[in-house]
Amino acid sequence: MASLCLNSFSPPSPSQPRRLFEPSFPSSSSSSSLTRNNYTLKPIVVRGNPPTFVSAPGRRIVAVGDLHGDLKQTRLALEMAGVLGSDTQDLWTGGQTVLIQLGDILDRGEDEIAILSLLRSLDVQARAKGGAVFQVNGNHETMNVEGDFRYVDSGAFDECLDFMEYLEDYRDHFEEAFLNWIQVSERWKDQRKSQNFWGPMNLVKKQKGVIARSILYRPGGRLACELAQHAVVLKVNDWVFCHGGLLPHHVAYGIERMNREVSQWMKGLGESGNSPFPFIATRGYDSVVWNRLYSRDFGDLDDFEIQQINSILEDTLEAVGAKAMVVGHTPQTAGVNCKYNCSIWRVDVGMSSGVLNSRPEVLEIRDDKVRVIRSKRDRFSELQVVNYL
């Protein structure tokens, strides 16, 4: 596995990259790369564990913001992005597209595990087509692994209890069970809601839901280990993706180092069985998952503050070798937008019914052009187009 820290700002050596997967080809094809519009696409190459640096030559990239447990809105956003069919069969329709979800799948909604399962299922399907699905963890993922359940929807506790009972039928086949959960979660939810628990029985059931969630998300738990497979900072080609925002001291610390430390903590690994808490990535107002510096409203800033923030952003992008950054975390009431000469894109629109219940929007990056997709019917909306040349 690659071991690269960007505090030296040196590129990985050619021997470090690995092909995460090979695309599938027709039996008649003898080529080792995909063909699109009469030119070939090289395989996607990933460095780091969890994935930190991704080379995805020629791919269309789609970024989706915070989902917060709302499966209906999640499906709508993915359909708009052109990566999910609208026939309720949850099939990948994105071909060689790379989908990136910016974190905060957990809290404020009741279908969190179903969304995690859906994204994993789509990733498996996408790999077979030469595409991929990546996730970055947000502050609500790290909060739940810490045991902070302040923002958990009551239905999400119920989903955890349902999922634990469902796992009993699979015993040692968690991977299969997790992939299949998206297919059966609605049935379990409907069955649960048809059983009206009142009084003491309801209280006991809620307590069991809290216990189930603690077991699933504690460091080393089944779903904590699932989250541990995802980064807090992901660089795809010359774009960097994270939930809150990357700062120069994060880059100096080493983004692969941060990803690895968060992953080990979520897995419950460490020198004495408990990995030290990855403070720089997950705690504090300027940590990667909590930072809101780049998402502040210009109306709240004076010219000097804007210049300072722009300078910090420029230094960060130069250090990490990226042309722009994409973040979630802070709902944008005006929709997906860019600031600081479009060096930062803010893609959290508060689409979950537990937040703003706003219209889903997604960001598309194709070659040197960026578009905001704001309508299912007009997938390539010209409302906001930026060329990076």
Is 236 domain-assigned? yes
Does 33 reside within a domain?
A: no
Q: What are the pLDDT tens digits along the chain (389 aa)?
A: 333 222 333 333 333 565 554 433 333 232 334 555 545 799 999 999 999 999 999 999 999 999 999 999 999 999 999 999 988 799 999 999 999 999 999 999 999 999 999 999 999 999 999 999 999 999 999 999 999 999 999 999 999 999 999 999 998 899 999 999 999 999 999 988 877 655 566 788 889 999 999 999 999 999 999 999 999 999 999 999 999 999 999 999 999 999 999 999 999 996 555 567 889 999 999 999 999 999 999 999 999 999 999 999 999 999 999 999 999 999 999 999 999 999 999 999 999 999 999 999 999 999 889 999 997 554 444 445 566 54
Query: Does residue 26 fall inside a structural domain?
Result: no
pLDDT tens digit sequence for 319-368: 999 999 999 999 999 999 999 999 999 999 999 999 999 999 999 999 88
pLDDT at 196: 62
How many domains does the chain divide into?
Answer: 1
Would 20 be classed as within a structural domain?
Answer: no
β 324-327/337-339 pair status? unpaired
Tens of pLDDT, residue by residue over 76-96, are 999 999 999 988 799 999 999
> Is 6 inside any structural domain?
no
Residue 243 appears among annotated catalytic residues:
no
- Maximum C-alpha span of the chain: 66
Domain CATH for 257: 3.60.21.10
Tell me, yes or no, whether 21 lies in a domain: no
Residue 312: domain span? 45-386
Q: How far apart are CA 387 and CA 186, in angstroms?
A: 42
Could you tell me if residue 1 is inside a domain? no
Share of the chain above pLDDT 90, in %: 77
Domain assignment of residue 225, yes or no:
yes
119 vs 190: CA distance, rounded Å: 22
Which of 68, 140, 230, 243 is flagged as catalytic?
Answer: 140
Taking the C-alpha atoms of residue 206 and residue 212, their distance in angstroms, rounded to an integer, is 10
CA angle at 51 for the pair 236 and 56, rounded to the nearest 5°: 35
